Each structure stands twice: as structure tokens, then as C-alpha cells.
Amino acid sequence: MLFQVIRKEIKVLFASYIGWGILAMFALVMGVLYTQSLSEYMQVMLGHVPTVEQIGLTKYIGANMFSAASLLMLMFIPLLSMRLLAEEQKNLTMAFMLSAPISLAEIVLGKFLSLLSFLMLMLAYLVLIICILNLWTDIDFGYIFANVLGLVLLIASFSAISLFISSLTRQPILAATLSFLVLILFLFVDQLFEQQTNTIWASLSMMQRYKSFAVGLLNTADIAFYVLVSGAFIFFTIRKLEHQRVYG
């Protein structure tokens, strides 16, 4: 049943204008940034543009593109997730879904994994255009792997949080707005309390946790943080649906 939910939700995403529009926008922005970064790198290497330090092609282009991709996901995920549960409630189909012979865990995981699978298509496109550079020069695959892993974990956390928020309201637009604001809070919570000496806020900041991946390093504490955040919000969503099934 889990795979049936995933297949159904992916079909819905590809049948929507929002899904195709987001895919097209991501491809366009990444394509423009890719050619622009490559052109700038060539100017630096030719000495036309001064640079403080010599930097590899992979890091120069990858840093720009992975950073931009994370910001695009911040905008795209709330738009894609807003219909997963909020629209079910708005269209009054939630009761049918909750009474179906399928566990709530399968429903929630199916919707989460379908969204994640759709987003992985965009990430695959990003990795492909960067790896194409290997046809002309050696690239740092370790750096790419660390950034890809970090972005996957970040996307999974964004998706789990947005899915939970989608379960709290009947209005998809409200769900998207709240998801965006909450994701902003999780990303930059350390900036809101930067005057305080307590480091707990920095440890809760997704942006701070992502920095190690961005420089090509793997930190097990950061990996565990993202996994725990994703798992926690998936659990919260299941509990929310259980409460709704019992109390309406």
C-alpha cells in the first residue's frame, strides 16, 4: 500500500501546473547560474578578475549552485507540500483517506517519500550538470558527495516539517505560508539570538548544521540532527492524523 500512495502522489505532482512550473524554474535558474559561474571562473583563471586565493573549479561552481539550490528548495517545498494534507481536508477527502484499509504511517510516509522523490529529480539534474565538467577536467567527487548528502538531508527535513504543517490546516495557501515562515525560523534561529552566549540556538540552526557539508565535510552529529528532525516531524504528523481519526 505504501508504494501505491507514493505512485498516486507522484502522478498528482506531475499532473499539476505547479509541479511542472517548479521543475522548469529550477532547471532555468540552475542553468543560468551554471553558465555564469563557469564564465566567472574562466575570467579568474585568465587573470582578468583578481581573486584572493586560488580555488578549484568544483568548489567555485559547486558552492554557488548548491547554495542557490538550498534557497530554491526553501521556496519550492512549501508550495509542493501545501496540498499533501491541507488540500485533502479542504476537499473533504480526508475522512475517506483515514477510513481506508491502510495505516496512517503508510499514508504519511507515502506522501513524504513521494515529495522527496520529486525533489530528487531536481537534485539529480543539478548533480548531472556539475559532473559533466569531468569530461574536461578532474572534479572533486568527495566535495560533491558531501554537498549532495547535506542537501538531501536538508530537503528531507524541510519536507517533513512542511508535511506536518500541512496537516494542521484546511487552507493550502496558509499551509504554504506557515511552512515558509517556520523553515526560515529553523534556518536562522541562531541569528535571532546571536546576542546570547548560549550555543543551543546555533546547534538548532539548520543553516549552521549545513555549513560542514557545504565545505565538503561529513559530521555525524549534523547527519543525526537532520535525521532526527525528519523523523520527529513525520511522527508528529502521524500522531496528528491519529488524533483526527479518533476525535474528528
Indicate the pTM of the whole model: 0.88
Q: What pLDDT was estimated at residue 52? A: 42
Report residue 53 as a C-alpha cell: 586565493
41 neighbors 142 (Cβ within 8 angstroms): no
Q: What pLDDT was estimated at residue 201? A: 64
* pLDDT over 70, % of the chain: 85
Indicate if the pLDDT at residue 200 is higher than 90. no
Mean pLDDT over all residues of the chain?
84
Rounded Cα distance between 42 and 28, Å, is 21
119 neighbors 77 (Cβ within 8 angstroms): yes
Question: Exposure of 58 by Cβ count < 10 A (0-12 exposed, 13-18 middle, 19+ buried)?
Answer: buried
pLDDT digits (tens, 9 = 90+) for 183-198: 998 887 766 665 555 5
Rounded Cα distance between 95 and 31, Å, is 43
